[in-house]
Each structure stands twice: as structure tokens, then as C-alpha cells.
Structure 1
Amino acid sequence: MRRVLHFKTGPYLPVTENWMYGQIKGLRRYEPIVYACNRENLSLFPVNKIRTTGFLRVAKRGLRLRKIYFYLYFLYYLAKDRPDVVHAHFGPSGQRFLVLKRIINVPLITTFYGYDVNQIIQEHPAWLDKYRRLFRDGTLFLVEGSYMKKSLAAIGCPEEKILVQHLGVDVDTIKFVPRKIVHGEETRILMAASFREKKGIPYGIDAFGHFKNMHPQVKASLTIIGDSAGDRSGEEQKRLILKHIEKHHIENSVKMMGYQSHEVFIRELYSHHLFLAPSVQASDGDSEGGVPVSIIEAAASGIPVLATYHCDIPEVVLDGKSGYLVPERDAALLAKRLESLVFNVSMWPEIGTNGRRHIEQNYNARTQIELLEGIYDRVVSGEYAKRCHVSRSCS
């Protein structure tokens, strides 16, 4: 059996990056090996073979020593593991692996996810030069959708080296349940996201607050799954979220659950009627890049989705068919779309059916894993070898 090395700088694996695990556990024809800087949540995301440097323990020894340690550590294990292809997750991971690629001459695929395209360059322009080397020497680059493909090409990646590879969800375990409501039952709305500006949670709260103030007689509640990661920006977002709840006087109608496991998230999906995901382009350039997996899972479950025209979300949420889309930061229009869904319950089954069908056809994890392994096959066979040469757009 061939081997694929999944590589990322930072830890394997934060709970907010569970979608990466879907690209590992579903492999059938490739044995996955994980290389990372340190490990966490292995009980949630088990793998048979993982190598970690423990960078957090050597961080104070100096940058040069860290780099030497990094390369020597992984070179030792690369000689033992002998992968056929390397799949780096996030642009900086691909860039970091370039030195090792040149030494062991292994094909390198890099998947970009969002912050690694816009935010990192806006905050650190020097990454443009680093990426040029990655685009020149990397074998292939994967993105979640057409918007992300255009974004990556805009910063210098040759279009012929970019492929769209959807993140899939397990439609066999996510059951389709058309939403309905019993007479007199409250309408339950769900948001699930980490407290980051790009998630647009305050706009979702504003939309719900507008709706509640317009229709105080309607029974409706909002549940928020997620929390701050404890960093400064996350804490600022948390304060902003609480401020918006207070502004609309909806404290008694909003339930905040904090971070929850994936199993709890799926369970909560089925106990709610509508899913709200008002993503926005953050002031620091951060974005969803592609589309949050939570939206794909929600649509697969049969719940109507309200979201924004942001990144590749319109490829998953079909406006007017499987949900509604509004421009970013337009809480007023979001409230109107929410109002339309709340007062037109008869639309829910058709919307849910359309969403489920779209996910089954285009975001089925089993199908996407087969396509991913097909990409690995073509890379290993050398089909993309010519794309590793210097092109005008990379020079």
C-alpha cells in the first residue's frame, strides 16, 4: 500500500480543524502518516502513526536551533517512513516542507484553507516571496472552491497547478431529517462557530434581535455553540457578542453552550429548525477561504441554512433552493430572510431536500476521498511533474 504523509505546522489536531481528519480517516488505498509539531485531542482524532517534534518544548531555544531540530527530526523519520506523496495542510506548512522535499524528492501537495491566502499576506507581506517559491517548486495545490482558486491565482499561483477538491461529509452517518414544527412550538435557530470576526456572529445576533423586536409574540430562540480561544481577538469578539445580545434585550432568548464536541453539534442540529452562518471578510483579511464544514453538515442534515455571499459558501448554499444568502454584514436583510422562513414552515421540507441532494451529489465524503486518492495517484505517477518547473507567473 502506498503512503501519504499529512503534514502541518502547529498541533495535530485542534477541534476546530476536524475537517482535516476527514481527509485522513477515510483513505482506503493510501496509508496515512501524520507529521506535526505537537499533538492534542488524539482520543478524538486517532491515527495509527504520528510523528511530532514537540516544538512547544523547544520554542525558547532560538529560531535557528528550532529549524535545525525540525529538519533533522523529520529527515530521520522520512527515511524510515518513505512516503510516496506529502499532503501539507495550509500554505505555511507547504512552505516549511519545501526544504525536505528538495532533499527526498517527494511530490508535495498543499491545500489552502483561508487565512493562509489573505490574512497572512496582509499582516506579513514577506509571505508573498515565500509563496512564490512554494508555487514554483510545489507539485499541486488544492482549494475548496472556485472563489478560493481565484484568490490563490491572484497571489501568483499558476492556475494549471490549482485543483478544486471539496471537503466532504459522511452522508451515511448524517441522517436526513426534514424539519417541521409542532403548533405552538418555538422556532429554534442554531449558530456554531469559534468566536472570530470572520464568523460574523454579531450580525447573526442582530438579525435575530431585529426579528424578535418586530415579532415579540413569536416564540423563537437562538443557540450559539462556540467560544473564544482565549486570545485577544477572540476575547474581543466575545465581549462584542455579549454586547449585541444585551443591546437587543434578548438575554432570555439566547443560549450560549460554549465549545462542544462534534457529536454534540450534530445532535443540536437535529433539535433546531434553522441554521445561521453569517460569515464575513474580517478586518485583518481573514476569511473562510472555502466554506465552513458546519454548513455542509447542516445542509446534509436537512436543516434550512441562512448564510452570506462569502467565499465559496454560495457553492454549497443554493440561494432560494437550499437556503438563503445575503450580502455580508447585512443584518437587516438577514432578519427579513429569517422572518420569511419562520412564517413559511411549509417551505422547510423542500429546502431541506434540495440541500441534502446537493451535498450527496457534490460533498459526499466517500466520493471526495476517492477523488483525493485519484489525485494522489496522478501525482505519484508523475502526471503533474511538469507543473513543478518554473513558470512565468512564478518567476
Structure 2
Amino acid sequence: MNIAILSPSQNPYSETFIQAHKNFLKGKVYYYYGQKGGVCLESEKKLGHPIKKVFYKLYRSIFKKPYSYINNKQLIDSFNKNKIDVILVEYGNHAFKILDVLKLSKIPFVVHFHGYDASVNFVIEQCQNYSEVFKYASKIISVSQVMSNNLLDLGCPKDKLFYNVYGPNPLFEKVQPTFSKKQFISIGRFTDKKAPYYLILAFKDVIKTHKKAQLLIGGSGELYNTCKNLIAYYNLQDNIRLLGVVTPQKYTTLLEESLAYVQHSVTALNGDMEGTPLSILEASVAGLPVISTYHAGISDVIINNKTGLLVHEHDVSGMTEAMISLLDDIDLAKTLGNNGKQNILSNFSMNRHIKQLNIILSDSVNP
């Protein structure tokens, strides 16, 4: 198949699942990125022929077409030139914004929801509950059971909806944790739904009994300075470090030496929720126990007391106790971590995710 992937941005560091789609899907992949009216093709400097662009500009001016008309026509020309068989649209709200060109192309398209696009209240309202997206899309992909239920409640036809959790990069399958340090690792954007401040508050009480324990938090975002101030206020600089953006290679090294992965995800006030956090899948397949919350797709992939420890959202003391329990019992950490690795390899591998996605795309071409 010739597959067009349409994404709102080119290469944000946190969207490694989109990079996986680009790199591993079966067939020839053309990556189109950008917002409505400004979509580009990654492999080309300019989208479409310059002479045609002049004609489209003239036509738009004479017939008072919207500004996006030119880019839409160029995009369809590009689809035709590259003989695109099927389109994969990353994010439901992106599909809503470019729905006019998707319909004009007459090419079957699949919409992949990821998290905020299926949960943030004002996003769903702006997209008119996705009624038109559900109507014209060949298939809809969800990455958690909670998300599937949300989409069904919005009116997504059940026969169009497919649950397909991401798979972690095979790089993380090779990690062999040594559990050599009393160290916890967390990776993710500093946003409301990831609530990194709860990790800091929980760890503040951990070091009362384990004074040399360490918490490393990687990532960036709007709550970064808040967390930095919180660490300084409680004088936790010797125990908690903010790492900034962490490369996958550096992340594997940190996983190898750490005791567990921690993440206190919550539902934000605006409704924003995780899909299934890829960093949790990566840590689990690396062989580390995961301490997290009963939130969105996390409990789909982490089994409490078997592959990790789960607490309820906002239960800071519960997270403190979970971290202390692993500091007190390294053998428990090793057992949970090994169970997690086997669980992810058996049920949530990258190979399984891509294989299922290939089937979904192929079935959209040949229903």
C-alpha cells in the first residue's frame, strides 16, 4: 500500500508513536504534516507544482474561495501523484480540521485518536462531537478501553471502532535492569494530566525513611518551573533531579539502573486524559515495575500487584507507600518487573501493534 500519514506537526519529541508508524508500517509511507492550509510533505521542499499554484491562487481570488483552498488542491494533487491508497490521520481533532480535503480526496481514511483529542471537553465541543468524522472515516482507532467507551458515548459506530494499544520500541526489550540504585525514574511532559508535582510530594515522605533515595524526572512543559520551585521549597535538591528532555538511549540507561518507573497520571479539570502512556509500556517491557494510577489505559497494561503497583488518582500517600514497599523489598521489585516484561512482550508488543494497524489500513482499502 501507499500510505499517507497526516499529522499536525512534523517531529515533536513526545510523539514517538507517530515516528513508529512512519518507520514500521508495511508499504510506502508519505508523511504530511502541518495545520489546515499549510500542510507539507516531509520528503519535498514544496507541495505541488508552482504553475498549478498560480492557477489555484487566481481561481481562489476570482471565486472567493477560502485561503485553505490552494493547499487543499495541492494536497489532493500530491495524493494522486503518489497514488495514495489509504490515509492515516493522527489525532481526531486534526481529522476534523482537515475533513474537507479528506472528503474531496475520495480516499479511505482512518482516524487514530491518542488522548486529549478524545477527552478534553472544549476540544470535543469544537469538533462537534466528531459526528462528521465518525460519518466519513472508514475506521476509528482507540488506544485504551476508557477512550473506546468515550468515543462510543460520542456516537462512534461500534463497527468502525478498533482498540489498538501502542507498542514500545523494541530497543527497550533489550534492557536488562540491575536494580543497582535506590532510584525511581519518570519521563513525560510536565502537564496537568501527568501531575509531576504529586511525584514530588509523594517522594518528600519517601526520603524520611530512605534518605539516600533518588527521583529523576525527565521532560519539559508548562509545569516545569512549578515543580522546580516545589523541589526548592521543600529543600529536596539532593534527592530529586529534573533532567529536561531525555533521549531514548539515555532513558534505557536510566531504566537499567533504576528500581521502578513512577507516574501519577490524573484526569485534568478540563477533562484531559492519557491514552495509554508509551513511557509506561517502555518501562514495563524493559523489566521495571511500574508505580502509577488507575487512570485511562494504564490499568489495561499494568496489572496491580503482578506487574506493578497502582493507586487511585490524587492518592499521594498511597504512592509514597508503594515506593517505600519496593525500597524495602528489592526481590518484589524484580518479580514485578520480570512479570511486566513478559506481559508486554506477550500482549502489547510493537510488532502486534503495527500488525494490527496494517490490517486496519488494508481492510479500509478493501472493505
TM-score normalised per structure 2 = 0.88
CA-CA distance at 1:338 after TM superposition: 0.8
Distance in 1 of aligned mates of 2:98 and 2:123:
22
Distance in 1 of aligned mates of 2:241 and 2:83:
50
Deviation readout 1:140-177 (Å, 9 max, x if unpaired): 10011211100111222122211001211233653142
Could you list the runs of 5+ residues in structure 2 that have no partner in the other structure?
36-40, 48-64
Aligned residue runs from structure 1 range 201-216, under 5 A? 201-213=196-208, 215=209
SS at match of 1:356: helix
Aligned residue runs from structure 1 range 39-188, under 5 A? 49=43, 65-119=66-120, 121-122=121-122, 125-128=125-128, 131-171=130-170, 174-181=173-180, 186-188=181-183
CA-CA distance at 1:84 after TM superposition: 0.7
Distance in 2 of aligned mates of 1:371 and 1:19:
14
Does 2:270 align with 1:284? yes
Aligned residue runs from structure 1 range 152-301, under 5 A? 152-171=151-170, 174-181=173-180, 186-213=181-208, 215=209, 218-228=211-221, 234=222, 237-288=223-274, 290-301=275-286
Aligned residues: percent identity? 22
Deviation readout 1:206-243 (Å, 9 max, x if unpaired): 11111113x1x542011111122xxxxx1xx1232123
CA contact (8 A) 1:123 1:284 kept: no
Which residue does 1:387 correspond to in 2? none
Distance in 1 of aligned mates of 2:45 and 2:353:
26
1:316 aligned to which of 288, 301, 310: 301
SS at match of 1:4: strand
SS at match of 1:174: helix
Distance in 1 of aligned mates of 2:167 and 2:77:
33
CA-CA distance at 1:123 after TM superposition: 5.5
CA contact (8 A) 2:175 2:252 kept: no
Distance in 1 of aligned mates of 2:46 and 2:214:
44
Distance in 2 of aligned mates of 1:370 and 1:280:
31
Deviation readout 1:12-52 (Å, 9 max, x if unpaired): 11011111111221123x111111128xxxxxxxx984687
Query: In structure 2, do the counterparts of structure 1 residues 264 and 52 end up closer, same or farther at CA, with 3 Å as the change threshold?
Result: farther
Aligned letter for 1:150? N
Aligned letter for 1:161? K
Aligned letter for 2:200? I
Which residue does 2:14 correspond to in 1? 16
Aligned length: 347
Aligned letter for 2:225? R
Deviation readout 1:219-274 (Å, 9 max, x if unpaired): 2011111122xxxxx1xx12321233234321111111111222222222212221
CA-CA distance at 1:135 after TM superposition: 0.8
Which residue does 2:5 correspond to in 1? 6
Which residue does 2:51 correspond to in 1? none
CA contact (8 A) 1:143 1:164 kept: yes
Deviation readout 1:72-109 (Å, 9 max, x if unpaired): 22122112112111000001222234322322321110
Could you list the runs of 5+ residues in structure 1 that have no partner in the other structure?
39-46, 54-63, 229-233, 383-395
CA contact (8 A) 2:228 2:242 kept: no
Which residue does 1:37 correspond to in 2? 34
Aligned residue runs from structure 1 range 338-357, under 5 A? 338-357=323-342
SS at match of 1:252: coil
Distance in 2 of aligned mates of 1:170 and 1:126:
33
Distance in 1 of aligned mates of 2:322 and 2:315:
11
Q: Which shifted more, 328-337 or 360-369?
A: 360-369
CA RMSD of aligned residues (A): 2.2
